[in-house]
Structure 1
Amino acid sequence: MNYQNNDDAQALQEPDDVRERPRRKGIYILPNLFTLAALFGGFYAVVMAMNGRFEQAAIGIFMAAVLDSLDGRVARMTNTQSAFGEQMDSLSDMVSFGAAPALIVYEWALKGLGKAGWIAAFVYCACAALRLARFNTNIGVVDKRYFQGMPSPAAAALIIGFIWVMDDAGMRDAWDLPWLAWSAFGATLYAGLTMVTNVPFYSFKDISFKRSVPFIVIVLIALGIAVINIHPPIVLFALFCVYGLSGYGVYVYRKMKGKPVSVIATSTDEPDEEGLHR
């Protein structure tokens, strides 16, 4: 009993700055491991492209996209969200889905177009940065069921999927084929500019892995995996082509039905940044 009283007295005598010292915040390992793995996928893709191995570069970007789609879900499911993780995710996305695809498509085809080629690559890279900055700014006001503009992983998959299909067909010197180089030029600009439009793209964020689903859903997932394995380059590229056009389809449909096309769910109290929300 006397020991307890002595401890209480000692605690009362401690300075306020010692007693009120905040605990140091740590970093959650699990979600950030997924983010680092996605970052490695983008870096690996650039290295493979520099060595002329574009198929491996494509695989690196697609793996980065898969891992990027998981890190946020893992963080929410394990209740390990953090401000550090959000910033880390944005930086990883900029490398894997902004700089990496721009460098890969330039190395593969756009360098044969001279100044026009590197301008197209820069436009894509800049649009990826602008899209990520706008996403971080609008995260509190955007309808979570939709993305405002095409998400950067889908834009990267659109470009890299095109490269993968052509490389698989034996067209490895694309920069020496004017028609193919200009096709890559058009795809790069389309993907880049679509990222910064206000066109709504379905986000799939309302799909929960915690809820039970009918048995047929598992069967359809198994069939989907089997279809992808028939010929991964063509199937994946076709899927992302459909997704890359789906936003414009949703936009036209809503316009025809007289429904609002904006994905902004609430108003903002920041008049100086009003242009970001429209």
Structure 2
Amino acid sequence: MWKDRVRNSIPNLFTFGNLYCGFLAIVMAAKGDFQNATLLIVIAMMLDSLDGRLARMLGVAGDFGKELDSLADIVTFGVAPAMMAYYTYFYEFGEIGLLISALFPLFGAFRLARFNLSATNVASAYFSGVPITAAGGILAVVTLFSGRMNDLMVPLVFTGLAFLMVSRVKIPSFKDIPVPRHTFVITFTLLYVTYVMIARNNEWSTFWFVAVPLYIAFLLFSFIKKKKQKQHSNG
């Protein structure tokens, strides 16, 4: 019995980690520390990409985990990036800016509610609309580098992502990509090493130019590996 409880709790621990990172990101954004806020959101994105996979691998996917994941996503990828956008740009417009900033988590909540009503335990190849995870991550990164961009970049990206979340545009989910062995250990090791490097050297350029290509390479490797496995099984 206790083994079943442990197995059921493992994916939820990743979801709680996502939520905890979201809370800390909000605190960092309120302090004006957008670098650490963005880092926390990126870490939460990685955690969020693993909890659902773990639940399916362990055979414990259910309504509780789905609802908990949605609540965590609203905080981490809805409220936290919106706070960053507010303190970076929309604060100049007073209460109107505050109301506009609130639209991002509201649209995200609508998208998650619609997704939960239509979702099944079977992994789909496509999302309907941009997932709040991707939208929040993109907004956070754009906000972080807003000082080096045109002043209109933040409101344009904010508005575009908000409407794309509630759109019916088909977005590849990549949920059917198999996770290679030892991925979880390697992921957390890289996260820890990256955080230590940033904390000591404050070299954010190193983080973005290393972490992002590595993550893309991981997705490409997994996709190619899956295609080869299919070709081998068909042959």
Same fold (TM over 0.5): yes
- Cross-structure match for 1:253: none
Alpha-carbon distance in 1 for matches of 2:180, 2:60: 16
Superposition RMSD on alpha carbons, in Å?
3.1
The alignment partner of 1:118 has SS state of: helix
- Cross-structure match for 2:43: 63
What are the superposed Cα offsets for residues 99-126 of structure 1, whole Å, 9 maximum, x if unpaired? Answer: 1211221122210133442233122121
2:136 is the alignment partner of 1:160: no
Asked if the contact 1:164/1:233 (under 8 Å) is kept, the reply is no
1:121 to 83, 89, 101: 101
What are the superposed Cα offsets for residues 198-251 of structure 1, whole Å, 9 maximum, x if unpaired? Answer: 00111001212269xxxxxxxxxxxxx9xx9755079859x99xxxxxxxxxxx
Asked if the contact 2:34/2:144 (under 8 Å) is kept, the reply is yes
Letter in 2 for 1:187: V
Asked if the contact 1:35/1:88 (under 8 Å) is kept, the reply is yes
Alpha-carbon distance in 2 for matches of 1:107, 1:72: 32
2:80 is the alignment partner of 1:104: no
- When the two structures are superposed, what TM-score results if normalisation uses the length of structure 2? 0.71
Change (3 A) 1:183 1:70: same
Letter in 1 for 2:208: P
- Cross-structure match for 1:204: 174
2:156 to 179, 186, 198: 186
Alpha-carbon distance in 2 for matches of 1:75, 1:125: 26
Change (3 A) 1:231 1:29: closer
Structure 2 unaligned spans of 5+ = 182-193, 195-203, 217-235
Q: Give percent identity, aligned residues only.
A: 35
**Structure with greater helix percent:** 2
**TM-aligned CA deviation for residue 185 of structure 1:** 1.5
The alignment partner of 2:61 has SS state of: coil
- Structure 1 segment 223-234 matched on structure 2, within 5 A: 230=206, 232=208
What are the superposed Cα offsets for residues 21-79 of structure 1, whole Å, 9 maximum, x if unpaired? Answer: xxxx9572211110000001110100111111110000011111110000011111122
Asked if the contact 1:123/1:189 (under 8 Å) is kept, the reply is no
- When the two structures are superposed, what TM-score results if normalisation uses the length of structure 1? 0.61
- Cross-structure match for 1:41: 21
- Cross-structure match for 1:216: none
What are the superposed Cα offsets for residues 174-203 of structure 1, whole Å, 9 maximum, x if unpaired? Answer: xxxxx52x4211211111110000001110
User: Whose radius of gyration is greater, 1 or 2?
Assistant: 1
Alpha-carbon distance in 1 for matches of 2:100, 2:20: 25
**TM-aligned CA deviation for residue 80 of structure 1:** 2.4
- Structure 1 residue runs of 4+, over 4 Å off? 228-231, 233-237
Letter in 2 for 1:232: W
- Cross-structure match for 1:74: 54
Asked if the contact 1:165/1:234 (under 8 Å) is kept, the reply is no
The alignment partner of 2:178 has SS state of: coil
The alignment partner of 2:67 has SS state of: helix
Alpha-carbon distance in 2 for matches of 1:210, 1:81: 20
Structure 1 unaligned spans of 5+ = 1-24, 172-178, 212-224, 241-278
Asked if the contact 1:145/1:203 (under 8 Å) is kept, the reply is yes
